[in-house]
Amino acid sequence: MIRVLVADDHEVVRHGLRLFLDLQEDIEVVGEAANGDEAVAAARELVPDVVLMDLVMPGVDGITATRLVHDSSPETRVLVLSSFADHERVLPALQAGAEGYLTKDTPPERVAEAVRSIHSGEPVFSAEVLRRLTEHAVGGRSRPEGTVTIVFTDVEGSTRLVDELGDEESRAVLREHDEVVRQRLRDHGGIEVEQEGDSFMIAFSSAGHAVRCAVDTQRAFADHRLRVRIGMNTGDVLVEHAGYFGRTVFMASRVASQARGGEILVSEATRALAADSAGVDLVDRGEHPLKGLKGLHRLYEVIWGR
């Protein structure tokens, strides 16, 4: 029997995992923890075979808790189950001693299989985590610096989609959306800066490439149930370890917020750089106030052929 400790600050998540795992003939949930401190204390007391560890918890976080569990109970293996799969969490978690890393959209059956694999000494990683690790191992493509076109995308009405389809089916549809967006940005040389929910932040060294990527993305969703809205801006950016910062980024997000499903909106700066190279018509949509920015800002819609 594989003895499991579930550490997550959300009671619903802990309860759901316990219910499912306890149905497995070879798995028993021996305890729960609502934060990192409780996880470390319970691991010392119960000495479970596997700890299912969330990373974002109050007090001691999951990465620190993983390190403490690894140090105090080396026979206990840690399997991370997190909503996040960015470099800033994946690599530190593995360095702290985690032997597997899954995202929370992993089906319950896969979680159970991962518990068995971890218990037998076989590391387990979700596809998104493997992609991140591969990018890190090979160095990935370097992020553009200097003058950069920042693109924001998101799905219009994603909350309504969840209500209509339910959690499982809506997540499957959104995973399909993620792959479509990523394939298009790979085709056009974009760099994924970050993803949060159904939203992407993407960087391009060329405004023309950014516009063509947006057009191909919208065409891919032309007959799809999802409607994606896209906005972009071009300018100088500050490069930080985790991404980009500055007025250019902020304005790009505000431009995107003005778009409706199926639309691509660009700033004056992007239009000036992409007008001759993008190969599409850009129609003046007038001046708009953008929240948090002074004055009015002229926006242009990319006509991509619905």
Both tokens of 74, joined, read: 């080396």
Please measure the distance between the N-terminal and C-terminal CA atoms of the chain and give it in whole angstroms. Answer: 57
Give the per-residue pLDDT at 141: 55
Parallel, antiparallel or unpaired: strands 243-245 and 100-103: unpaired
| Structure tokens that stand for 238 in this block | 């500050």
Cα separation, 15 vs 229, whole angstroms: 36
CB 233 within 8 A of CB 269: yes
- DSSP secondary structure of 252-283: HHHHHHH--TT-EEEEHHHHHHHTTTS-SEEE
Residue closest to 81 by CA, chosen among 68, 59, 62, 65: 62
pLDDT of residue 44: 95
Q: What is the DSSP letter of 70?
A: H
Please tell me the distance from the alpha carbon of residue 197 to that of residue 178, in angstroms, as a whole number. 10
pTM more than 0.85: no
Predicted local distance difference test score (pLDDT) of residue 290: 93
Q: Which domains does the chain have, with CATH numbers?
A: 2-137 (3.40.50.2300), 141-303 (3.30.70.1230)
pLDDT given at position 277: 74
Phi and psi for 275 in degrees, rounded to 5? -55, -40
Confidence (pLDDT) at 99: 94
- Give 251's strand partners: none
Ranges of residues in the chain whose predicted pLDDT is under 70? 87, 132, 134-142, 241-242, 306
Question: Which of 291, 226, 293 shows the shortest CA–CA distance to 261?
Answer: 226
Residue with token string 């200097």 = 146
**Looking up tokens 């690790």, which residue turns up?**
133
CB count within 10 Å of CB 297 equals: 19
